[in-house]
Amino acid sequence: MRYIEPHAHMVSRVTDDYQAMMLAGCAAVCEPAFWAGFDRSSAAGFHDYFCQLTEHEPRRAARFGLPHFCWLCINPKESEDVGLAREVIALIPKFLERGNVLGIGEIGLNKNSRNEMAVLEMHVDLAARYNQLILVHTPHLEDKHKGTRLILDVLRADSRIQPERCLIDHVEEHTVKLVLDRGFWGGMTLYPETKCTAARAVDMIEQFSGERLWMNSACDWGVSVPLAIPHAALELRRRGHNAAAIDRLIYQNPIRFLNQCPKFKLPDESR
Ligand SMILES: [Zn+2]
């Protein structure tokens, strides 16, 4: 088995996780900027985090032979302070030149507030000005459907944004069709307790062909499973999907989306 982990918060994980991912066939890991579990108090905190994502974490991953890529933004959970968000967004352009940065993410909404919407629009403008891919976080539970609609409207309102260059993550049964019908990619986040189980993800794949879908573990500092993708692959196999179809979903699909950024290269491609 080979797979890409397109969304994992590795700064929260231990070295055993890197080792286990390599053993399971992981070929690359991508890390969106995320909430640390507590609010950072200044733009300087984000500056250090962006250094961690672009310098330290790729070095740590390389010790286990795993290529590490990242996405940058101020996450929706810290977007209530528009002044702070503006300062953080101003830091991002100089980091976009770094070799492992794939785009702007994970941006989006958390509580669907007016301030979050303003910061989302700033991020979309940043992505458009610098021709970056976009990775979107959609809200949880009761806010998800409305939040997803609001996000898609913001993206579609900007004529510079191409839907095929945006991935809308954490889709569920009631939002996946909305996302795919409008030409975007969808991500299914495999969590043991919330978001989506492997069985539900496979149901969605069977219903929607899986051509513009990927799966991720989003493993972070909370209850989450770094090997969620290989586990989902076993569920796919149990349900009769063949090896080629599984490879397409967990390896080729993420590569197809991520290859839209010229910096996404696997080691044997760049040799
Ligand atoms: Zn995440």
What is the per-residue pLDDT across 19-56, written as a single tens digit (0 to 9) for each?
Answer: 999 999 999 999 999 999 999 999 999 999 999 999 99
Residue 268 pLDDT exceeds 80: no
Structure tokens at 130: 């610098």
Q: Does residue 84 lie within any of the structural domains?
A: yes
Q: Indicate the residue type of 179.
A: V
Residue 85 pLDDT exceeds 50: yes
Q: Does residue 213 lie within any of the structural domains?
A: yes
Burial pattern 188-206, b for ≥16 Cβ within 10 A else e, equals bbbbeeebbbbeebbebbe
32 alpha carbon – ligand 1 mean position (Å): 6
Domain range for 139: 3-265
- Name beta bridge partners: 3: 26
Q: Give the count of alpha carbons within 13 A of 58, CB side only.
A: 16
271 alpha carbon – ligand 1 mean position (Å): 30
Q: Indicate the residue type of 247.
A: D
219 alpha carbon – ligand 1 mean position (Å): 8
Q: What is the mean pLDDT of residues 93-107?
A: 97
33 alpha carbon – ligand 1 mean position (Å): 7
Q: Does residue 120 lie within any of the structural domains?
A: yes
138 alpha carbon – ligand 1 mean position (Å): 10
pLDDT at site 141: 72
Question: Are the beta carbons of 104 and 127 closer than 8 angstroms?
Answer: yes
Per the prediction, the chain carries an average pLDDT of: 94
- Whichever domain contains 15, its CATH number is 3.20.20.140
269 band by pLDDT with thresholds 50, 70 and 90: low
Radius of gyration of the chain (CA): 17
Q: What's phi and psi for 107, nearest 5 deg?
A: -90, 175
Q: What is the mean pLDDT of residues 221-242?
A: 93
Structure tokens at 5: 């982990």
Of 89 and 210, the one with more pLDDT: 89
Reported as a single tens digit per residue, the pLDDT across 106-147 is: 999 999 999 999 999 999 999 999 999 999 999 987 788 999
The share of the chain scoring above pLDDT 90, in percent, equals 88
1 alpha carbon – ligand 1 mean position (Å): 24
Q: Does residue 271 lie within any of the structural domains?
A: no
Residue corresponding to tokens 């409008």: 182
Reported as a single tens digit per residue, the pLDDT across 185-200 is: 999 999 877 668 888 9
pLDDT at site 271: 44
Q: Does residue 186 lie within any of the structural domains?
A: yes
239 alpha carbon – ligand 1 mean position (Å): 28
212 alpha carbon – ligand 1 mean position (Å): 19
9 alpha carbon – ligand 1 mean position (Å): 7
- Name beta bridge partners: 26: 3
Q: Does residue 165 lie within any of the structural domains?
A: yes
The neighbourhood of ligand 1, an ion, using CB within 5 A, equals 34, 218
Strands lying side by side in the sheet with 185-189:
3-5, 26-32, 68-72, 101-108, 133-137, 166-169, 185-189, 213-216
Question: Are the beta carbons of 101 and 72 closer than 8 angstroms?
Answer: yes
Q: Does residue 241 lie within any of the structural domains?
A: yes
DSSP letter assigned to residue 133: E
102 alpha carbon – ligand 1 mean position (Å): 15
121 alpha carbon – ligand 1 mean position (Å): 19
Distance CA 48, CA 243 (A): 42
256 alpha carbon – ligand 1 mean position (Å): 20
- Report the domain count for the chain: 1
